[in-house]
Amino acid sequence: MREVNIPISDEVVRSLKVGDSVALSGVMVTGRDTAHKWLADTFIKKTRPPQGDDLPTFDALKGFLSGGVIYHCGPVVSGLDTKDYKFVAAGPTTSIREEPYQGDVMRLLNVKGVIGKGGMGLKTLQACQEVPGMYLHAIGGAASWIAQTVTRVIGVYKLDFGVPEAMWVIEVKDFPVVVTMDSHGGSLHVEVEQKSKSVLDELLARG
């Protein structure tokens, strides 16, 4: 298990390869469907003018995400009434839904790590090579365990998206992930898919 601190330098990104287990520590931001769509529409495609608190939110996010990590997660959070937030359950959500946006978001904000589950596609893999960055697979469903690695909730943006969709800024210690897409074009998902496909073809032929 390799220990990696956020922000992550290009050297560290380049040194990590598909299959490496990593314990992450530092500050990261959660973001899923609504957040990615908001970033893409407002700041990349610009099909929607910034409004409300969009601009200050974007500035604040830039600070956290440059060299940083975005986590595909819709947490269960306690203390919503008192704003004394605590992460109760915080496993990853399926990442592929963000495939249309992720590469551009990585480039826009210089994001070094994307955490989620299930892997992502070629557009994101391409961005991983360019930025450089990597896709880090968390353990799907291990929500209590991961929540325990969240040592502090620093703040929350866009809470009006709803608790799961809001962008939570959190500090973590030893958050466990596996590198499944690296900055050298490697993807464990492609490997496993190809291997399983050849077994499937054999099984189908067996009748």
Partner 1 sequence: MQDLTEHIIELIRLASTNLPPDVEAALRKAVEQEEPGSAARGALETILKNVELSRSKSTPICQDTGTPIFYVHHPEGWSTRRLREQIVAAVIAATKRSYLRPNSVNTLTEKNTGTNIGDEHFPVVHFDEIEGDTLMMELMLKGGGCENVGAQYSLPNNELGAGRDLAGVRKAVLDAVYKAQGQGCAPGILGVAIGGDRGSGYTASKEVLYRKLDDVNPDPKLAEMENRLTKESNEMGIGPMGFGGKTTVVGAKIVGLHRLPASYFVTVSYMCWAYRRRKMTVKGDEVNYE
Q: Is 141 in the site for ligand SF4 (CB under 6 A)?
A: yes
Nearer to ligand SF4, 13 or 177 (CB): 177
Taking the complex as a whole, how short is the minimal distance between the CB of residue 149 and ligand SF4, in angstroms? 17
User: Is the peptide bond preceding residue 176 cis, with omega within 30 degrees of 0?
Assistant: no
Distance CA(60)–CA(120), nearest Å, equals 26
Q: Is 122 in the site for partner 1 (CB under 8 A)?
A: no
Exposure b/e, 80-97, CB count within 10 A at least 16 = b: eeeeebebebbbbbebbb
Q: Provide the greatest CA pair distance for the chain.
A: 61
Please say whether the beta carbons of 199 and 190 come within 8 A: no
Distance CA(79)–CA(85), nearest Å, equals 5
Q: Is 195 in the site for partner 1 (CB under 8 A)?
A: yes
Q: Is 151 in the site for partner 1 (CB under 8 A)?
A: no
Nearer to ligand SF4, 118 or 121 (CB): 118
Q: Which residues are catalytic?
A: 36
List residues binding partner 1 (CB under 8 A). 19, 21, 73-78, 88-91, 93-94, 96, 117-119, 137, 139-148, 162-165, 176, 178, 180, 188-189, 191-193, 195-197, 199-200, 203-204, 207
List residues binding ligand SF4 (CB under 6 A). 91, 140-141
